[in-house]
Amino acid sequence: MLDFLLRRLAAALLTLALASIVVFLVLEVLPGDPALVMLGTEARPDTLAALHAKLGLDRPLLERYVSWVGGLLSFDLGNSYAYGTPVSKLILDRVVVTLPLGALALSFSACVAIPLGVFAASRRGRMSDWLVMGFGQVGISIPNFWFGILLALFLAVTLKLFPAGGFPGWGTDPLGSLHALILPALSLSLPEIAILSRVTRSSMLDTLREDYVRTARAKGVAERDVLMRHALRNALIPIVTIAGLIAGFLLAGAIIVETVFYLPGVGKLVFDSISNRDLIVIKNVVILLTALVLLVNLLVDMVYVILDPRPKVSV
């Protein structure tokens, strides 16, 4: 078991290392001169030279890469070009919006999708099953940011139940802040609910065919208990795996949805950094998001071990 987790950890670290090389190549090598990208083509030569020195672009490639990775490990990410403040502070200030948003969206997804999938599986082939599957098909086809705009249009602009955007801040108004995250979290979770409910349904259908389920039924266990205790618990393994993958898509989706709802999160920081050509911020945010996704998937592997005493090593 420990062996399995160590292997997964090694694979995750390898992936992270690969990702850091890709990010470094794309942002620092491919453009030729990152300082020129940041300043624009009409930059004055002396400003360009100053930025060169500041970014350490006069140093050899390998040295630059190593010093970046070293900085990442000690969370010293350098200063933002546009804001002049440390990148680590910029990110920390915004993580308090994005992480709760992602967690809320993931809980919405699980709370709606798993019961929906179990329900559909228990009514296989009937009208209600067909409806749930149809909802799944529609759910993955709607762009989450459009769903967000629709929610803002009906629940915020027309019915005035929620704010259409903005974020008061946890310190000033904790309840209002939570309130402001509900519509964005709902719009982020729509496609994930669609995917997760389909996975839950098919995983449940697989376990419902197992012998122990038939035995439980034959023993006269109530159908409800058969579904919840015997089938769902065993069906959870693929569900948890997919939920882990979804966490990654949620973070990427947050970049767009935070823009829709004017939330000052990490996604908005990325968006603003693109317009400011603030490559230092982009580079670090992208690699930290990747690390976060890998971490979530490692956690999923651990849950997987807890759920199933016989994990397969080759995944």
Q: Which two tokens stand for residue 19?
A: 């990702």
Q: Which residues pair with 67 in a beta bridge?
A: none
Compute the distance between CA of residue 62 and CA of residue 68 in angstroms, rounded to an integer: 10
Burial class (CB in 10 A: 0-12, 13-18, 19+), 284: buried
Q: Which of 97, 90, 99, 102 is nearest to 282 (CA)?
A: 90
Task: Rank residues 147 and 227 by Cβ distance to other proteins and give the closer one.
Answer: 147
Q: 208: Cβ–Cβ under 8 A, 6 or more apart, which residues?
A: 121, 231
Smallest separation, CB 57 to other proteins (Å): 14
Smallest separation, CB 153 to other proteins (Å): 6
Task: Rank residues 25 and 222 by Cβ distance to other proteins and give the closer one.
Answer: 25
- Asked if 259 is part of the footprint of other proteins (rule: CB under 8 A), the reply reads yes
- Asked if 23 is part of the footprint of other proteins (rule: CB under 8 A), the reply reads yes
- Asked if 68 is part of the footprint of other proteins (rule: CB under 8 A), the reply reads no
- Asked if 157 is part of the footprint of other proteins (rule: CB under 8 A), the reply reads yes
- Asked if 39 is part of the footprint of other proteins (rule: CB under 8 A), the reply reads no
Compute the distance between CA of residue 124 and CA of residue 133 in angstroms, rounded to an integer: 10
Compute the distance between CA of residue 187 and CA of residue 107 in angstroms, rounded to an integer: 13
Q: Which two tokens stand for residue 248?
A: 């990654």
- Asked if 153 is part of the footprint of other proteins (rule: CB under 8 A), the reply reads yes
Stretch that binds other proteins, among 23-31, 57-65, 82-90, 209-217 (CB under 8 A): 23-31
Chosen residue from 53, 111, 138, 302 binding other proteins by CB under 8 A: 138
According to DSSP, residue 152 is labeled: I
- Asked if 297 is part of the footprint of other proteins (rule: CB under 8 A), the reply reads yes
Residue ranges in 163-192 that form contacts with other proteins under rule CB under 8 A: 164, 191
Q: 155: Cβ–Cβ under 8 A, 6 or more apart, which residues?
A: 161, 162, 183
- Asked if 110 is part of the footprint of other proteins (rule: CB under 8 A), the reply reads no
Smallest separation, CB 216 to other proteins (Å): 27
- Asked if 13 is part of the footprint of other proteins (rule: CB under 8 A), the reply reads no
Task: Provide the Cα torsion 142, 144, 148, 154; round to 10°.
Answer: 20
Q: Which residues pair with 86 in a beta bridge?
A: 79
Chosen residue from 112, 273, 301, 304 binding other proteins by CB under 8 A: 273
Smallest separation, CB 222 to other proteins (Å): 32
Q: Which residues pair with 79 in a beta bridge?
A: 86
- Asked if 196 is part of the footprint of other proteins (rule: CB under 8 A), the reply reads no
For residue 218, the tally of other CB atoms under 10 A from its CB is 8
Q: Which two tokens stand for residue 4?
A: 């399995």
> Residue 123: phi, psi to the nearest 5?
-115, 40
- Asked if 43 is part of the footprint of other proteins (rule: CB under 8 A), the reply reads no
Cα first-last separation, the chain: 14
Chosen residue from 55, 77, 152, 236 binding other proteins by CB under 8 A: 152
Q: Could you tell me if residue 22 is left (phi over 0), alpha (psi between -120 and 50 degrees) or otherwise beta? A: alpha
Task: Rank residues 140 and 178 by Cβ distance to other proteins and give the closer one.
Answer: 140
Chosen residue from 110, 185, 195, 232 binding other proteins by CB under 8 A: 195
Smallest separation, CB 215 to other proteins (Å): 28
Interacting residues toward other proteins by CB under 8 A: 11, 14-16, 18-19, 22-23, 26-27, 30-31, 37, 137-138, 140-143, 145-146, 149-150, 152-153, 157, 164, 191, 195, 245, 248-249, 251-253, 255-256, 259-260, 270-271, 273-274, 277, 279, 282, 286, 289-290, 293-294, 297
